[in-house]
Structure 1
Amino acid sequence: MDASTIKFQVTENGQWLDQQGTPISNNTLPSSDGFYVNNRNGNDILTYAKHDNIKPFTLTVNKIDKVTNQSIKGAEFQLTNSDTNQTIQPDESGDTATFTFNNLQPGNYVLSETKAPTDYAPLSSGINFSIDNTGKVTIPDGYDSNSELTAGNSNNTISLTVPDTPTSGQLPATGGPGITIILVTGLIIMITTAAGIIFISRRRWEV
């Protein structure tokens, strides 16, 4: 709460009045700053509700390969505020696997992948998420995400990992487990073939 002074009055018969002299009779939490009567254990308690504005959020999007979980570069994203139709571009530009969208206020948003990395299929649709006035962030199931309300002057944070699926025909990266399997399989086939040739040659020699 800030340091401003909140005034109220109490009449001789015990009636509560706000600083404008209006009787305070509301017994539910007001949607804006103001007094209300909170009944606890049969006792009426004069309560003042102060609504602090939620700090803006910073959204960090991490782009990964859906199969290997490794970071991949070459994607492009944009964010749209569904309530205002405002388009928000990330702070980063160029070849990067991490994208940052700053100063997001409570509202509804759609994250769209406008360009997929080479040899990857783009998202089939945008990712819808929302931030409510209490700072609660709602992101669809199936995405690795995290949100945090931070202390101090820094923005609240949202982290979202977005996987892309490699397109068919893409070879595994050198040194990865996929290429190892291919090499081992090929070696087994070569050894088996060679053994078969030797066996046939011996049979012919014996005959």
Structure 2
Amino acid sequence: MKNKLKKVIAYVLSFMMLFTMSAMNISSVSAASTGSITVHTGKHDVNGVNFNAYRLMDATVSGNKVSYSISSNFTGFFTEELLNGTTGDDIDIKAYNYIKANVSTTNFQNKLKTYIATNQISADGAATGTTDTKEYTIAGLAYGYYAVIPSGEGYTPSFTTVKSSNAVDVYLKGKTPDPEKTINNKKYDSAQVGDTVDFKVESMVPNMTGYNQYYYIFKDTMTEGLTVSKDTLNLVVKIGGTVVDTSEYTLTVDKTNRIFTVEFKNFYTNHAKDANESLTFTYSAVVNEKAINDTNTSTNKAEVSYGNDPDHLTTGAPSEVKVLTHTLKINKVDEQNKPLSGAEFALYRNNVDSGKLKFVDEGNGTYRIATIDDETTTDTLVSPEEGVITVKGLSEGDYVIEETKAPDGYAKLKNTINKTISVDGNAPQTVNVEEKVTNKTESWLPETGGMGTVIFTVVGVVGVLAILSTYFKKGKKREEA
């Protein structure tokens, strides 16, 4: 009986220990899965302003890796209609890509605020501004991607990911016409020399209440790696989605310094009624050979100047983007990994039907993508003595490598090689990829009809002649006898 009682007590204690450990683990996971957002308001008067945090997407975090899924409160916001045209294998990925492309736009922010108000979505956390305090912390937030929306119409929302117990900082931005520039709907992108890239800058019509005149100037400065001209600019200006007639502004292009400006005429008269409407500029530039030498610090920027006094305009913070080119190296070797010279290749973008890419030969196995202005070009890449061909000025994407001629004494590759240049993440980075191409030499095949047969034939004939000679000599001796 005592032994049974001891066993029961042992089982109960074991269960209690297991439950306690599980509770501790649950508690630690829960504690580790919340964080906070600190809103910095600077010099803005935020007395009475509410800062509400809404979790648009849940986040699962493991070290430096994160995966997002739509939060339950916003499944009705990220509809198939909203995400139409956005890439992705499922709705979570589509929502992720949609946010990346649209988060800074007035259109996205207004849609989000309307959805929250219409559906009475409860905030996941909130803070209220006072007269003196300049920082406000919203705590106890589960991991995820948040919109911090100030009450009223004086300030724009902020967006950030809560991914650890450390506070995430956001900085309040007043409704000023500071620009937000993107390239191909991204902050960073890669392109091939000769490609046309599309830019979009979003600003807004400032509030001109209290003035009887107002000025607005847009300015964009390109890097040396981008060619800008009136012929290729394709500028379109819109206010609230309506195209602004070209007669309402003066366009100036400085090709030498790669700068163009848009200066509005009679801005107050024409657009005072459009206060807080979106003001967008879309335009294009061509990537040239100098983009190859751009570094990660070489950006192109947009900025706006505005105000009622033309001699004392306010210039807001510039918005910068980066366009990169990439490098492909073809390493030509034999079976012993020794470099091979004299191999010839063609390179295709996407597939062989696109036609061979054309290059400028810079010497010693180095080539760059040719532009329409280059007079001397080639579509053949030749491996130098060191065996390494370097091709500069490529974009990310798929390429096909075709060996068109093998070095003397080696067999040419029968199949083409597919190569993908990819960029990991939406951040500025250069990518160098390498492809090792090995050629084989083969042993001699067996030969027939060589000297060995001739020698045996000659020996045989000589032998027959010797026998006949002996025979005739013996016959002659008999006759003489």
TM-score, normalised to structure 1's length? 0.51
1:76 is the counterpart of 2:344 = yes
Q: What value does the CA root-mean-square deviation take over the aligned residues?
A: 4.1
CA positional deviation for 1:133: 5.2
Please point out which of 432, 441, 447 is paired with 1:157. 432
Aligned equivalent of 1:88: 357
Higher helix share: 2
Cα distance in 2 for residues equivalent to 1:43 and 1:157:
33
Deviations 1:92-128 (A, max 9, x none): 3666122121111122111011100011011110101
Aligned equivalent of 1:199: none
1:128 is the counterpart of 2:418 = yes
Aligned equivalent of 1:188: none
Identity over aligned pairs, percent: 24
Aligned equivalent of 2:279: none
What does 1:95-110 align with in structure 2 at a 5 Å threshold?
96=384, 97-110=387-400
Indicate how the Cα distance of structure 1 residues 33 and 111 shifts in structure 2: closer, same or farther if over 3 A, else same: same
1:52 is the counterpart of 2:327 = no
- Partner of 2:408: helix, strand, or coil? coil
Aligned equivalent of 1:41: 142
Cα distance in 2 for residues equivalent to 1:129 and 1:94:
18
Cα distance in 2 for residues equivalent to 1:132 and 1:95:
24
CA positional deviation for 1:57: 1.3
Aligned equivalent of 1:177: none
Deviations 1:30-86 (A, max 9, x none): 34532278x9628771227964214321111111111x2111111001110126814
Cα distance in 2 for residues equivalent to 1:168 and 1:114:
23
Indicate how the Cα distance of structure 1 residues 50 and 14 shifts in structure 2: closer, same or farther if over 3 A, else same: farther
1:167 is the counterpart of 2:442 = yes
CA positional deviation for 1:160: 1.7
CA positional deviation for 1:132: 3.6
Deviations 1:131-166 (A, max 9, x none): 24537xxxxxxxxxxxxx985xxx421122111001
Q: Give the partner amino acid of 2:142.
A: N
- 2:343–2:382: 8 Å Cα contact kept in structure 1? no
- Partner of 2:96: helix, strand, or coil? coil
CA positional deviation for 1:88: 2.3
Cα distance in 1 for residues equivalent to 2:144 and 2:334:
60
Cα distance in 1 for residues equivalent to 2:337 and 2:343:
15
Please point out which of 397, 401, 407 is paired with 1:111. 401
Cα distance in 1 for residues equivalent to 2:415 and 2:423:
26
The structure with the larger Rg is 2
Q: Give the partner amino acid of 1:29.
A: Y
- 1:78–1:89: 8 Å Cα contact kept in structure 2? no
Gaps of 5+ in 2: 1-48, 55-76, 79-91, 113-123, 125-140, 148-158, 161-184, 191-323, 366-380, 446-481
Aligned equivalent of 1:21: none
Q: Give the partner amino acid of 1:53.
A: D
- 2:341–2:382: 8 Å Cα contact kept in structure 1? no
Q: Give the partner amino acid of 2:433.
A: I
1:30 is the counterpart of 2:97 = yes
- 1:58–1:157: 8 Å Cα contact kept in structure 2? yes
Say which structure, 1 or 2, has more relative contact order (CA 8 Å, 6+ apart). 1
Equivalent residues, number = 136
TM-score, normalised to structure 2's length? 0.24
Q: Give the partner amino acid of 1:77.
A: F
